[in-house]
Amino acid sequence: MAAKTTAKATTEGRNFRRYKDGDHKPGSWSKQIFQAGWSHKCPTYVLRTPPCSGSCPSGHDIRGWLDIVRGVEKPPAGLSWQEYAFRRMTEANPFPGVMGRVCPAPCEQGCNRNAVEEHVGINSVEHFIGNWAIENKVGFPKPETETGKKIAVIGGGPAGLSAAYHLRRRGHSVTVFEEKPLLGGFMRYGIPGYRTPRDMLDAEINRIIDMGVEVRANTRVGRDITVAEIEAGFDALFWGLGTHSGRGLPIPGWKDSSNCISGVAFLKAFNEGRLQAVTGKIIVIGGGDTSIDVASVARRLGHIAEVSQQDRIEHIILGQTAHDVAATAVREGADVTLTSLFPVEKMFAAQREIDDAKREGVDIKGGVMPLEVIRGADGRAVALKLCQCTMDGMTPIPTAGTEFTLEAELIVAAIGQKGDLADLPEIDNGNGFINADRTMRVPGKPKHFVGGDVVRPHLLTTAVGHGRVASASIDEFLATGEVAKRPKVDVHQFNLLNKLREANLQPTAYEGGAVRGTSSAKFAVHNFEDRAANEIIPHDQLFLGHFLNSARHHREEVHIDADQVIGNFQERLMALTDAQVVDEAKRCMSCGLCFECDNCVVFCPQGAVSRVRKDSRTTGRYVETDYFKCVGCHICTDVCPTGFIQMGLGE
């Protein structure tokens, strides 16, 4: 059974009472539209974006697929709720299995449910749906029509594969150029397999390839094929190169020490299967998720005594040699220390990952800064000099008299990275990155678009979102030669017209002529306003008193003790069960969209609000107002839990 948290008993901060004493007095003449028990205002149904979607870099319609899982939004006939949720989910992000496991979930931090007790476990629902789709071999359909346009996607990581997926959906021909033998980018070469199981990753990548995407692996643009050749052969280019060049420490002794390496290089050697063990004491400098991955991998690999110079760890990591598995079969626990400029409680890594690393035997020292690499007679690092520090924003301030030294056989810097653009000076902005505007277009290069860490190192889901936005921009560029501004809230939204069409309830054609009022018209969606592209609905515009405390369903986690960690590469995060995932989705408050609670129907004193006839009802069109009965008392607005009902002028 997955563990559950205890819900908070307090109701402090909940708006059981939306209005305060004195709020009945108008603050200005314009507000005197309210007169006793009536007004000239009537309820209007206003769609707005929930903060979970507004916080999601990949642009998920999170509320949409949670409403499907919980049973509020019904799938079309013949489609299971699991597949319907998967289809809605992958309109934005084709990697639910990956993101449900490793995304730090900024959506959960933004969730309005945090004002009640604890956020919805959005990640856990995504994890479940990702697993279900793989287990049931759900694929993506090939496009119904081909545009004849050809796009080159350079880099087969999360940004490149996201762009390839969205472009292929639009009917464009896509060729992915990948330097490495396998696709996946940082998902494969930067994250350990116990966090992104390779069978799961392969399944999600192959779904995209099976749409008809061509792949040219082992091909480095700038070396094996020139940019000019690609420009000549394709209608547009997308750069999704990632950042596979790590940053070194800006301290004396680092640059010329062969056993001082980047976290990127360490994880790449491990994920390629060349690094089978570590030798001696390891120091990892960082504080983010990559540094935790390096330290945790080192603990799992275990320590062996160095047997020859060619087996030195830097030769394995930086060269193309590999450890002999037989020679590394007998291993002991590795001595791994992770240091961070910030105190442990303020490190950037996810708290769950920090707790696991500690449990697995990683010694984490927060609030310390490296000062100097101490080298031996052979020029290799033998120790690292550090001191305690405080932080002034992002600048460390050393504390005098606190210097100390840690011995080290290997020092790994996981403090950031940049693109490897040595062969591509024409797109390098001079800092190892590629510039982009808000449409993900490279300034001054009309055919060139870009996304992912090579623009700005951030989350995997950010790279996926860049690919989504860039694909839309490329599609517009190919059709018109121009690219328009992106919406203010640039995410996938619930689309009422699409839902009406899906349910065969679409409006009829408008026949022209003047019409006063549209409440009985069949050509219009009456009294509905879509503000989702411009507004995010905050918790103080909801009726939070409607929601009872309900504990979150936490996924079961496999915790590994320090004496059991060597060679343990099993997945740690288990998916919820079918029943648990439905119950967790029911905790969603459906912010900004009706979830059919009937409050407005029950509490309307005039009987003006009623359910739409069953044969005309669908998500977003559940209730309607008789404006001959409505007196504008705004009670329906007060009791609407989701903030979907707003008072506005109308007839």
| pLDDT tens-place string over residues 335-394 | 999 999 999 999 999 888 999 999 999 999 999 999 999 999 999 999 999 999 999 999
Rounded to whole angstroms, the Cα distance separating 327 from 280 reads 16
Q: pLDDT value at position 357? A: 94
Model confidence band, residue 399 (pLDDT cutoffs 50, 70, 90):
very high
Q: How far is CA 255 from CA 51, 193, 299, 368, in A?
A: 44, 30, 26, 21
Q: What residue spans define the domains of the chain?
A: 58-244+419-488, 277-309+327-415
List the strands of the sheet with 528-530, edge to edge: 528-530, 41-47, 645-649
Q: How far is CA 646 from CA 1, 38, 154, 209, 341, in A?
A: 42, 15, 47, 45, 48
Fold assignment, 58-244+419-488: FAD/NAD(P)-binding domain (3.50.50)
Q: Please state which of the ranges 176-190, 310-324, 330-344, 415-429 shows the lowest mean pLDDT.
A: 310-324
Q: Please state which of the ranges 67-71, 91-95, 384-388, 500-504 shows the lowest mean pLDDT.
A: 500-504
CA angle, residues 622, 625, 631, in degrees to nearest 5: 150
Nearest to 353 by CA among 298, 296, 415, 300: 296
Model pLDDT for residues 199-215, shown as the tens digit of each residue: 999 999 999 999 999 99
Nearest to 53 by CA among 463, 493, 483, 632: 493
Q: pLDDT value at position 2? A: 42
Rg of the chain taking only CA atoms, in angstroms = 28
Q: pLDDT value at position 647? A: 86
Model confidence band, residue 4 (pLDDT cutoffs 50, 70, 90):
very low
Q: pLDDT value at position 9? A: 44
Q: Is the pLDDT of residue 612 over 60?
A: yes
Nearest to 585 by CA among 119, 116, 264, 179: 119
Model pLDDT for residues 272-285, shown as the tens digit of each residue: 888 888 888 999 99
Q: Is the pLDDT of residue 85 over 90?
A: yes
Model confidence band, residue 14 (pLDDT cutoffs 50, 70, 90):
low
Q: Is the pLDDT of residue 6 over 50?
A: no
Positive/negative CA dihedral, 181, 151, 472, 136: negative
Q: pLDDT value at position 3? A: 43
| DSSP class per residue in 479-499 | HHS--PPPPSS-S----HHHH
Q: Please state which of the ranges 118-132, 275-289, 385-399 shows the lowest mean pLDDT.
A: 275-289
Positive/negative CA dihedral, 183, 189, 195, 199: positive
Give the chain's length.
Answer: 651
Rounded to whole angstroms, the Cα distance separating 158 from 270 reads 20
Q: pLDDT value at position 7? A: 43
Q: What is the pLDDT averaged over residues 432-453? A: 96
Model confidence band, residue 111 (pLDDT cutoffs 50, 70, 90):
very high
Sequence-distant (6+) residues with CB within 8 A of 614 are: none
Per the prediction, the chain carries an average pLDDT of: 90
* Phi, psi of 174, rounded to the nearest 5 degrees: -125, 130
Q: Is the pLDDT of residue 48 over 60?
A: yes
Neighbours of 632 (CB within 10 A): 21
Is there a common fold for 58-244+419-488 and 277-309+327-415?
yes
Q: What is the pLDDT averaged over residues 487-511? A: 91
Q: pLDDT value at position 273? A: 85
- 40-59 in b/e form (b: 16+ CB < 10 A) is ebbbbbbbbbbbbbbbbbbb
Paired tokens of 194:
């116990």
Q: With contact defined as beta carbons under 8 Å apart, do 559 and 360 qualify?
A: no
Q: pLDDT value at position 326? A: 47
Domain 277-309+327-415, CATH among 3.50.50.60, 3.40.50.300, 3.40.50.2300, 3.40.50.150:
3.50.50.60
Q: With contact defined as beta carbons under 8 Å apart, do 237 and 154 qualify?
A: yes
Q: What is the pLDDT averaged over residues 101-111? A: 94
Nearest to 282 by CA among 372, 381, 212, 214: 381
* Stated pTM of the model: 0.89
Model pLDDT for residues 476-490, shown as the tens digit of each residue: 999 999 999 999 999
Classified as helix, coil or strand, 585 is helix
Classified as helix, coil or strand, 312 is coil
Q: With contact defined as beta carbons under 8 Å apart, do 233 and 150 qualify?
A: yes
